[in-house]
Amino acid sequence: MTIVGVLALQGDFAEHVALLRRLGAETREVRLPSDVTGIHGLVLPGGETTTISRLIDQYGLRDPILSMAREGAPLWGTCAGLIAMARKTEGRDDPVLGLMDIDIERNAYGRQVDSFETEIDVPALGEARFHAIFIRAPRIQRTGPEVEILARLEDGTAVAVRQGALLGTSFHPELTEDPRFHAYFLRTVKEREHSSRVAAG
Ligand code: GLN
């Protein structure tokens, strides 16, 4: 059975768990290093980056998460979770996890439009547009050569990115009723789990 972990230290992890369950996935809330054992993918939810980063260290989760990523397990960061995955965040000396070759500016859409919602095209999810909810969202300023852009705003800003098994969205699919992003991630987790099982014989 494929188990998808959801980092449950702070932020909107419950919404991710609910959507994944609706899709029939087995989920596990991850709070301790032992929770990482046996999961096949991990969602890093939205919340507050500084708090999440501090709790990751406090609970000893940094190394288990990094080794999961090194082994090629799929990780998906939404909003603060995306910031956590970035190699570089403006105003921070060190990255939180530093896994994805992207540069981020936090809370970058300006105070007046703190939060906004818009329809975006995500060809990987099919023809219907996706309702994207941005809440004090990070802006992806640069993407490296290995990063595939899955969706952009009309002004060209990347808002959904993928690098190998790593997925990042600066908005919150878990706050909508549209399960397509979660289904997409689940597929990645299952494909990856299948191929590592085949490789292991
Ligand atoms: N503004 C938050 C941060 O920078 C992220 C917002 C979110 O996850 N909704 O940490």
Q: Which residues, including other chains, have CB under 8 Å from residue 50's CB and lie 6 or more apart?
A: none
Q: Six-digit token pair at 1?
A: 């059975």
Consecutive 10-residue averages of pLDDT for the chain (201 residues): 96 98 98 98 97 98 97 97 97 94 92 86 98 96 98 97 98 98 98 85 77
pLDDT per position as a tens digit, 51-93: 999 999 999 999 999 999 999 999 999 999 999 999 999 989 9
Query: Helix crossing, 180-200 with 13-22: angle to 10°?
Result: 70
* Protein residue with least CA distance to atom 2, ligand 1: 48
- Candidate of 78, 117, 135, 140 to mutate for ligand 1, largest count of ligand atoms within 8 Å of Cβ: 135
Choosing from 40, 79, 127, 194, the catalytic residue is 79
Taking the centre of ligand 1 as the mean of its atom positions, its distance from the CA of residue 120, in whole angstroms, is: 20
CA nearest ligand 1 atom 8, residue: 46
- Rounded to an integer, what distance in angstroms lies between the CA atom of residue 86 and that of residue 77? 9
In 3-state terms, what secondary structure has residue 168? strand
Tell me, yes or no, if 172 is annotated catalytic: yes
Look up 191 and say whether it is catalytic: no
In the chain, the percentage of residues whose pLDDT exceeds 90 is: 90
- Tokens found for residue 126: 């099919």
Q: pTM, whole model, 2 decimals?
A: 0.96
What number does the ligand 1 atom closest to the CA of 136 have?
1
First to last CA, the chain: 17
Which domains occur in the chain, in start order? Answer: 3-200 (3.40.50.880)
